[in-house]
């Protein structure tokens, strides 16, 4: 029997400052995330300097987007819902695991084995449509490390970034279409920003590792699928932590669009299939506020694909490509 592991970055255990600090420290002490800092200094910088400095501000953002009804971060809740639906639709045991924090990869492996004693293969599905060393690579490396640390009675296979897969493109198009039909001036595709140094490493390796190429391909294919005017699109980047990161910036672009007379904007992230801090806070709160307070009239946020039935069906087809 095969099993499925839905893999993502992770979220703090709670929205409390201490848990947020722990999560930020874990993320930033990852050499694939903070790669320009010497090894001996990375942990100190991440856990003792940046995390304590950033934690209160970041916790206040989590406070605004937290799923209080389910007492969970939206990212974890959405991932659990997706896993439940995939398991129900395929009959294959399905679990979630996070690169940082919980649920951890070893725990997810154990739960899959508990669900199925005859498990012979686990298909790992990193929930990153575009490749980045700080998202896809570090997550699959973690799965590899946890797999090799002790003997397992199953093998593992990885789903590759699906930035151009028809099922991802058509799902995005389907989620955007109702907003397009109401009329709009600009369609803003937001992606997580990256340090230029990471972008260059990927670009030198080729298209398979080239974040900006994959971002542009996703947008080109969705535009084609929707049959809309590419001149009304904007690609922007959010969450930059420094000047030498990918631009144009989401918030800055929203201000400029509003100030130059754009009235109706549709905004979404095509870089995160599951809603999280980056979509619910950066787009639906910060970008909305930047647009509306600068004279913009209508701001429409397209929710993530999360556990939408049409996406579940298409993701299963993407996963089946690995079977
Ligand atoms: C496309 C996926 C992601 C990329 C690429 C990525 C790069 C990246 N992130 C940081 C720093 C932080 N990321 C944080 C949270 C966070 N990041 C991603 C995804 C990508 N990150 C997710 C899904 C999350 C969790 C969001 C949630 O809802 O919980 C954080 C903590 C939150 C905050 O304070 O903003 C930090 C810090 C760097 C430095 C980086 C590339 C080098
Ligand atoms: Fe991040």
Does residue 307 lie within any of the structural domains? no
The pLDDT assigned to 242 comes to 87
Ligand 2 geometric centre to CA of 151 (Å): 31
Ligand 1 neighbour 75 (Cβ under 6 A): yes
Give me the mean pLDDT over the 289-295 stretch: 98
Write down which residue in 161, 180, 200 finishes a domain. Answer: 161
Answer yes or no: is pLDDT of 259 > 90: yes
* pTM summary value: 0.97
For ligand 1, whether the C-beta of 11 sits within 6 Å is: yes
Atom of ligand 1 nearest to the CA of 280: 28
Q: Do 129 and 6 fall within a single domain?
A: yes
Same domain, 20 and 153: yes
- Please tell me the predicted confidence (pLDDT) of residue 312: 98
Q: Is the CB of 218 under 6 A from ligand 1?
A: no
Average confidence (pLDDT) over 203-223: 98
- Among 161, 196, 212, the domain boundary falls at 161
List, for residues 117-161, the tens digit of each pLDDT value. Answer: 999 999 999 999 999 999 999 999 999 999 999 999 999 999 999
Confidence of residue 322 (pLDDT cuts 50, 70, 90): confident
Which ligand ends up closest to the CA of 237?
1
CATH of the domain at 12: 3.40.50.1400
pLDDT at 258: 98
Total count of domains within the chain: 2
Q: How many Cβ atoms from other residues are within 10 Å of residue 269's Cβ?
A: 28
140, 183: one domain = no
List the 2-8 sheet strands across, edge first: 94-98, 2-8, 121-126, 155-158
Last residue of a domain, one of 106, 133, 161: 161
Residue 323 pLDDT more than 90? no
Give, using CA atoms, the residue closest to atom 24 of ligand 1: 9
Residue owning the nearest CA to atom 33 of ligand 1? 58
Q: What is the average pLDDT score of the chain?
A: 97
Residues of the domain holding 269: 166-301
Q: Are residues 114 and 216 in the same domain?
A: no
Which numbered ligand comes closest to the C-alpha of 30?
1
21 and 146 belong to one structural domain = yes
ipTM for the whole complex: 0.97
Exposure string of 216-247, with b = 16+ CB inside 10 Å and e = fewer, is bbbbebbbebbebeeeeebbbbbbbeeeebbe
Ligand nearest to the CA of 245: 1
Percent of the chain with pLDDT over 70: 100
Residue 306 lies in a domain: no
CB 177 within 8 A of CB 187: no
Could you tell me the pLDDT band of residue 36, with boundaries at 50, 70 and 90?
confident
Residues 250-262 have a mean pLDDT of 98
In angstroms, rounded to a whole number, what is the distance separating the alpha carbons of residues 276 and 304?
A: 9
Is 144 in the same domain as 202? Answer: no
For residues 175 and 133, membership in a common domain is answered with no
- 95 labelled as ligand-binding? no
Any binding-site annotation on 278?
A: yes
Summarize the confidence of residues 290-309 as an average pLDDT. Answer: 98
């Amino acid at each position: 029997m095969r099993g499925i592991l839905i893999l993502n970055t992770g979220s703090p255990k709670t929205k409390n400052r201490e848990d947020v600090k722990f999560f930020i420290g874990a993320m930033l002490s990852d050499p694939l995330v903070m790669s320009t800092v010497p090894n001996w200094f990375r942990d100190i910088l991440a856990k003792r300097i940046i995390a304590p400095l950033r934690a209160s501000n970041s916790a206040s953002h989590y406070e605004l987007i937290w799923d209080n009804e389910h007492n969970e971060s939206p990212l974890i809740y959405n991932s659990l819902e997706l896993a439940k639906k995939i398991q129900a639709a395929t009959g294959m045991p399905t679990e979630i695991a996070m690169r940082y924090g919980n649920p951890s990869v070893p725990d997810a492996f154990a739960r899959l084995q508990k669900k199925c004693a005859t498990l012979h293969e686990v298909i790992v599905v990193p929930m990153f449509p575009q490749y980045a060393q700080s998202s896809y690579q570090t997550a699959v490396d973690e799965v590899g490390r946890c797999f090799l640390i002790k003997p397992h009675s199953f093998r593992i296979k990885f789903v590759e970034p699906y930035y151009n897969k028809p099922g991802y493109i058509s799902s995005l198009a389907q989620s955007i279409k109702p907003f397009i039909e109401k009329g709009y001036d600009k369609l803003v595709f937001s992606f997580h920003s990256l340090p230029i140094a990471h972008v260059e490493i990927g670009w030198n390796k080729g298209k398979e590792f080239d974040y900006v190429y994959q971002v542009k391909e996703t947008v080109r294919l969705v535009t084609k699928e929707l049959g809309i005017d590419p001149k009304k699109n904007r690609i922007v980047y959010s969450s930059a932590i420094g000047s030498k990161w990918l631009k144009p910036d989401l918030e800055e672009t929203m201000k400029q669009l509003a100030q130059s007379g754009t009235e109706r904007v549709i905004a979404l992230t095509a870089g995160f299939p599951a809603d999280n801090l980056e979509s619910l806070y950066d787009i639906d709160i910060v970008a909305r506020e930047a647009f509306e307070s600068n004279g913009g009239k209508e701001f429409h946020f397209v929710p993530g694909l999360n556990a939408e039935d049409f996406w579940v069906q298409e993701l299963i087809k993407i996963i089946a490509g690995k079977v």
